[in-house]
Amino acid sequence: MKIAITGKGGSGKTTIAGALIRGLAEAGHTVVAVDADPNPNLGISIGLPRDSVETMEPILNALLASGHTHNDPTPDPDDLLARYGLGAPNGIVLIATGKIERPSDACLCCGSHNTTRQFFGSLPSDHRTVVADLEAGLNDLMWARPGPDDTVLVVAEPSAKSVEVARRACRLAESMGVQKILGIANRSNGPDDVARLAEILGVEVVPVVEDPAVERADHLGVAPFDTESGSPAMLAVAALVERLVKA
Ligand SMILES: Nc1ncnc2c1ncn2[C@@H]1O[C@H](COP(=O)(O)OP(=O)(O)OP(=O)(O)O)[C@@H](O)[C@H]1O
Ligand SMILES: [Mg+2]
């Protein structure tokens, strides 16, 4: 199973991805967590200490540092995972696709960048569950190339702009042949928010309520899955995990 999580900036993608990844791993899945944000911070949301996340070498940075160019063969995604993946709780392997540290003088549309952007799409998932926390907006969703068997979770807050990005993401995912698209009404204030979002997105929507426990964990730099597991938002993600596991 492969799951890509997309939505507008700040809509709650990483928070939800982190709890979902931990939940799937606790449910017995072998999970690869792909942090596709060039400002990676999924590690903290899955319960890793900041220092350990900082030791991770993202694929793009490693390839560029090794002098890899678009003339070189495309590296095998499993080989990249073995080299640059970081062990996380519950047997999860976390990998970051790239991190912006300085201006790049390399071509941005091929070679290493291409390898990086297409990592989610190219990683086989026959014996594991791959979950990608994508960069905000639609570009990363396009490059990640989810296919007909994959699941796309589209996260939206109640704001009109967040909902509009989510609507566009749903249409983009549909145009790529994705059949399992699920909306997440994050910070929702009740059934009206959920119904409104479902109508606009044209897909089924599940709620994750606005939850001070999530903010508390965020301020401490810890995973709400570890410190606030009984909170309403974490219970909503747990219900989502159960649903995905059954499916
Ligand atoms: N259900 C919720 N209740 C309360 N706060 C939340 C909830 N979901 C997310 N947040 C808070 O909203 C902020 C943004 O969340 P998060 O980083 O997960 O968003 P994101 O979509 O990954 O952002 P970015 O686009 O920058 O990657 C964080 O401070 C997080 O703690
Ligand atoms: Mg994020």
Give the pLDDT confidence of 145-173 residue by residue, as tens digits.
Answer: 999 999 999 999 999 999 999 999 999 99
Among the bound ligands, the one closest to the CA of 12: 1
**Section 60-82 average pLDDT:** 88
What confidence tens digit (pLDDT) does each residue in 13-23 have? 999 999 999 99
Residue 36 clears pLDDT 90, i.e. is over it: yes
Give pLDDT, residue 111.
64
pLDDT of residue 99: 87
Within 13 A of 140's CA, how many CA atoms are on the CB side?
25
Q: If pLDDT is split at 50, 70 and 90, which confidence band does 65 have?
A: confident
Rounded distance from Cα 14 to ligand 2 centre (Å): 4
Residue 218 has pLDDT above 90, yes or no: yes
Cα distance between residue 29 and residue 126, in whole Å = 12
Torsion 162-164-165-169 (CA) sign:
positive
In this structure, of 3-17, 45-59, 61-75, 125-139, the range with the lowest mean pLDDT score is 61-75
Q: Write down the pLDDT at residue 110.
A: 61
Q: Is the CB of 10 under 6 A from ligand 1?
A: yes
Mean pLDDT check: name the lowest of 37-46, 95-104, 223-232.
Answer: 95-104
Number of domains in the chain: 1
Q: Are the C-beta atoms of residues 185 and 204 closer than 8 Å to each other? A: no
In this structure, are strands 2-7 and 129-133 parallel, antiparallel, or unpaired?
A: parallel
Cα 71 to its chain centre, rounded Å, is 29
Does the CB atom of residue 170 touch ligand 1 within 6 A? no
What is the distance between the alpha carbons of residues 136 and 162, in angstroms, rounded to a whole number?
10
Q: Percent of the chain having pLDDT more than 70? A: 96
* pLDDT above 90 for 237: yes
Q: Is 234 in the pocket of ligand 1 (CB under 6 A)?
A: no
- With 80 as the cut, is the pLDDT of residue 114 above it? no
What pLDDT does 102 receive? 76
Q: What is the C-alpha separation between 198 and 180, in angstroms, rounded?
A: 14
Ligand 1: residue of 5, 11, 13, 15 to mutate (most ligand atoms within 8 A of CB) is 15
* pLDDT per residue as tens digits for the range 135-144: 999 999 999 9
Q: Global pTM? A: 0.96
Torsion of CA 158, 161, 165, 166, to 10 degrees: 10
Reply yes or no on whether the pLDDT at 109 is more than 80. Answer: no
Q: Is the pLDDT of residue 68 over 90?
A: no
Residue 189, sorted as left (phi over 0), alpha (psi -120 to 50) or beta, turns out to be alpha
Going by C-beta distance under 8 Å and a sequence separation of 6 or more, which residues neighbour residue 148?
A: 177, 178, 179
CATH number where 237 lies? 3.40.50.300
Q: Residue 107's pLDDT is what?
A: 62
- Structural domain for 7, as ranges: 2-246
